[in-house]
Chain A
Amino acid sequence: MSNLILSIENLYKSYGATEVLKDINVSIQRGEFLVLVGPSGCGKSTLLNCIAGLEEVNAGAINIGGRDMVGVAPKDRDIAMVFQSYALYPTMTVGKNITFGMKVRGVDAATQAKKLADVAKLLQIEPLLNRKPGQLSGGQRQRVAMGRALVREPQLFLFDEPLSNLDAKLRVEMRTEIKRLHSNLKASIVYVTHDQIEAMTLATRIVVMKDGIVQQIGTPSEIYNHPANMFVADFMGSPSMNLIPATVEALPTGLAIKIKQENGTLELMDDTKIKGLKMGAKRELLIGLRPENITNPTANSRLVAPCRIEVVEPAGSDTFITTSLGEKPITARLRADTVVSPGAEIDLAFNLASASYFDAGNGERLN
């Protein structure tokens, strides 16, 4: 049995003249937790619906468990799906909701009862089985919706923004619970969200999408540390990555970076190599630095420069300050005990080892 659960090749989808998915190529292995993330309207939910067979595709192939899915009905795809609005059947009890699929497929009553009991125990919803969905809280409905999917024991689970109707606290709890379920059940999951934190915390691999095009596929750390372009850099991470306009000159010792500051120029040296930059040549580009890479100087800090503080935002565990570099607001992440006040100058350490360089024109990554 192959370990390739899902593979999507050259998939196109359009509604009339509007192309919503363009040349999508994604695959997942058994046990992977793949998160599709992107701003609303990027086509991630449409892609999920295409995988489920709820939307027809215009071109390309979808394989689930090695079977070609063209023309295969959702029920025959060996999938289960959890929806944003939960989509529980309002007139059926929780128990009936969970067993409805088995009833339709003609599973015998004894097996139904056993599976229901197992799932109810796993999700701790045993006391709710005789209630109607209307009598449940948001978190309980969420559990029931997951129970309905789990009881199917499919090859592939599809989650369509399952947590976005919950309040912030519950969302974090359920997030942990989904992660636990995934590792206990070794399930293969495709999960859609617009919340980049959800994507980072849950995924084994992330697909970042924008305007129907895959921007980058990678592990959370790849996506976070080596964003493929400026969109990914900006979208993933909170606060988002600083994108600082700079002039870079290639010297034998490394890159000489010049950043415009309030009064004068900030000069930094980095030993990274940048694609297509010849020795001695100069280039305007953007340096991407996460807030945690602009921080309090220590004894080992190699690049330290004074900057004027514009805004101070204490977040408890850290203190974020905003300064200005290359005529753009830049966020730095300082230790919580740093004494800072707006208007003052402070020495900031730049950790260029984690810097990303982007083309100012097309936004592509250069290093």
Chain B
Amino acid sequence: MMDNLVKDGSLRQVALRAGLYAVLIIFALYYLMPLFVMIVTSLKSLDDIRTGSLIGLPRELVFDAWGKAWSGACTGVKCEGLQPYFWNSVLIAVPAVMISTVLGAMNGYVISQWRFKGSDFIFALLLFGCFIPFQVILLPMAIVLGKMKIAGSIGGLIFVHVVYGLGFTTLFFRNYYITIPVELVKAAKVDGAGFFRIFWSIFMPLSAPIVVVTVIWQFTQIWNDFLFGVSFSQAGTQPITVALNNIVNSTTGVKEYNVDMAAAIIAALPTLFVYVVAGKYFIRGLTAGSVKG
């Protein structure tokens, strides 16, 4: 009697498990479908695309579309592919991520460990900056960039992204550093270390998880940004997202879906790469502050 019950119970458990996995697999497939279509389409010839089905495998693997997307596709009148814009994006994203991360770390360090009159108010203001819609700042920012004489330049875009990212990076670092006991700073002060010494020797080495979180967040935001890129750039300084849009919208007769798909994947690769490399630290870093005793 008892045995039967246990057996029935375990049978039901197995069935439940199987059902659960089935649902999860279906969802996973559903989410992977667009990526699958993109990759498959980018490897087909134009004829293949026209005659075959959307999700069918290519009859013959053709890599021409990738080459063309990288260095031959036309954006408007120029036909040099994504390549120059890819490097524009790198030139924008790398310094902007670095600067906003370092400044955010400094801000967080000051707001959490070197509290002064009004530090909470300044933190509230910075936090408020996270919630300002992009569209609202477009015109004032354009004026500021013009006054600073960096309108339409890579430098201008770096500046915009640093300013817009500060709210988030400060929030991340402040919430991380607030869990560190104030006695640590006191001990270091008695030991003779100053403001920057304490920051570099004691706080920075502690910050690996939150640096990873911030870098991933900022890199994704800046690399994927389209609105700032299209508003504050000019020919030659456009980031890859803008170039991708231009490639897809400049057609000469036939719509080259394979090239469009390859270009889209190329544009998404760096963020994908960052997630794969540092993804596990991302989750760890996000929860680090809360779990730490």
Per-residue contact bits, chain A 77-90, to B (CB 8 Å; 1 contact, 0 not): 00111011101111
Q: Which of A84, A87, A88, A90 contacts B206 (CB 8 A)?
A: A90
CA distance A90 to B197 in the complex (A): 15
Chain A residues positioned under 8 Å from B201 (CB to CB): 89, 100
Do the beta carbons of B181 and A87 come within 8 Å of each other?
yes
One of B58-66, B182-190, B241-249 at the interface: B182-190
B185-200 contacts to A (CB < 8 Å): 186-193, 197
CA distance A87 to B197 in the complex (A): 16
Do the beta carbons of A87 and B193 come within 8 Å of each other?
no
CA distance A87 to B190 in the complex (A): 11
CA distance A80 to B197 in the complex (A): 18
User: What distance in Å separates the Cβ of A93 from its nearest Cβ neighbour in chain B?
Assistant: 12
A148 CB within 8 Å of chain B: yes
A61-106 contacts to B (CB < 8 Å): 73-75, 79-81, 83-85, 87-92, 100-101, 104-105
Q: How many residues of A contact B (CB 8 A)?
A: 23
CA distance A316 to B188 in the complex (A): 46
Do the beta carbons of A87 and B192 come within 8 Å of each other?
no
Do the beta carbons of B183 and A148 come within 8 Å of each other?
no
Q: Which of B183, B191, B205 contacts A100 (CB 8 A)?
A: B191
CA distance A74 to B187 in the complex (A): 10
Do the beta carbons of A75 and B190 come within 8 Å of each other?
yes
Do the beta carbons of B183 and A83 come within 8 Å of each other?
yes
User: What distance in Å separates the Cβ of A46 from its nearest Cβ neighbour in chain B?
Assistant: 13
CA distance A348 to B67 in the complex (A): 104
Do the beta carbons of A79 and B192 come within 8 Å of each other?
no
User: What distance in Å separates the Cβ of B191 from its nearest Cβ neighbour in chain A?
Assistant: 4
A199 CB within 8 Å of chain B: no
Residue of B nearest to A79 (CB): B190
User: What distance in Å separates the Cβ of B37 from its nearest Cβ neighbour in chain A?
Assistant: 47
A59 CB within 8 Å of chain B: no
B278 CB within 8 Å of chain A: no
Q: Which of A49, A87, A101, A105 contacts B184 (CB 8 A)?
A: A87
Chain A residues positioned under 8 Å from B188 (CB to CB): 89, 100
CA distance A91 to B184 in the complex (A): 12
CA distance A89 to B186 in the complex (A): 11
A52 CB within 8 Å of chain B: yes
User: What distance in Å separates the Cβ of A183 from its nearest Cβ neighbour in chain B?
Assistant: 24
Q: Which of B184, B187, B202 contacts A81 (CB 8 A)?
A: B187
Given A84-B183, A85-B183, A89-B202: A104 and B189 interface contact (C-beta under 8 Å): no
Chain A residues positioned under 8 Å from B189 (CB to CB): 54, 73-75
Query: When A and B form their complex, what is the total count of cross-chain residue pairs whose Cβ atoms lie within 8 Å?
Result: 56
Do the beta carbons of A91 and B206 come within 8 Å of each other?
yes
CA distance A74 to B188 in the complex (A): 10
Residue of A nearest to B189 (CB): A74
User: What distance in Å separates the Cβ of B205 from its nearest Cβ neighbour in chain A?
Assistant: 4
CA distance A81 to B183 in the complex (A): 10
CA distance A100 to B190 in the complex (A): 11
Chain B residues positioned under 8 Å from A84 (CB to CB): 183
Chain A residues positioned under 8 Å from B190 (CB to CB): 52, 54, 74-75, 79-81, 101
Chain B residues positioned under 8 Å from A74 (CB to CB): 186, 189-190
Do the beta carbons of A91 and B205 come within 8 Å of each other?
yes
CA distance A149 to B83 in the complex (A): 59
Per-residue contact bits, chain A 103-122, to B (CB 8 Å; 1 contact, 0 not): 01100000000000000000
CA distance A73 to B195 in the complex (A): 12
Given A85-B181, A90-B206, A91-B205: A54 and B191 interface contact (C-beta under 8 Å): no
Do the beta carbons of A81 and B205 come within 8 Å of each other?
no
Q: Which of B187, B197, B205 contacts A83 (CB 8 A)?
A: B187
Q: Which of A91, A92, A104 contacts B192 (CB 8 A)?
A: A104
CA distance A79 to B190 in the complex (A): 7
Residue of A nearest to B193 (CB): A104
Chain B residues positioned under 8 Å from A80 (CB to CB): 190
CA distance A105 to B190 in the complex (A): 11
Chain A residues positioned under 8 Å from B192 (CB to CB): 75, 101, 104-105
CA distance A84 to B183 in the complex (A): 8
User: What distance in Å separates the Cβ of B50 from its nearest Cβ neighbour in chain A?
Assistant: 60
Do the beta carbons of B183 and A104 come within 8 Å of each other?
no
Residue of B nearest to A101 (CB): B191
Do the beta carbons of B186 and A81 come within 8 Å of each other?
yes
Do the beta carbons of B186 and A54 come within 8 Å of each other?
yes
Per-residue contact bits, chain B 169-190, to A (CB 8 Å; 1 contact, 0 not): 0000000000001011011111
User: What distance in Å separates the Cβ of A146 from its nearest Cβ neighbour in chain B?
Assistant: 12
User: What distance in Å separates the Cβ of A55 from its nearest Cβ neighbour in chain B?
Assistant: 10
Chain B residues positioned under 8 Å from A90 (CB to CB): 206
User: What distance in Å separates the Cβ of B201 from its nearest Cβ neighbour in chain A?
Assistant: 7
Per-residue contact bits, chain B 202-214, to A (CB 8 Å; 1 contact, 0 not): 1001100000000
CA distance A131 to B86 in the complex (A): 45
Residue of B nearest to A81 (CB): B190
Chain B residues positioned under 8 Å from A88 (CB to CB): 187
Chain B residues positioned under 8 Å from A148 (CB to CB): 187, 191
Listed by A's residue number, 15 A-B pairs whose Cβ atoms lie within 8 Å are A54-B186, A74-B189, A80-B190, A81-B187, A83-B186, A87-B181, A87-B183, A87-B184, A89-B188, A90-B206, A91-B205, A100-B188, A100-B201, A101-B191, A105-B192
11 new A-B pairs (CB below 8 Å) besides A83-B187, A148-B191?
Answer: A49-B186, A74-B189, A87-B183, A87-B186, A87-B187, A89-B184, A89-B187, A91-B206, A100-B188, A101-B192, A104-B191
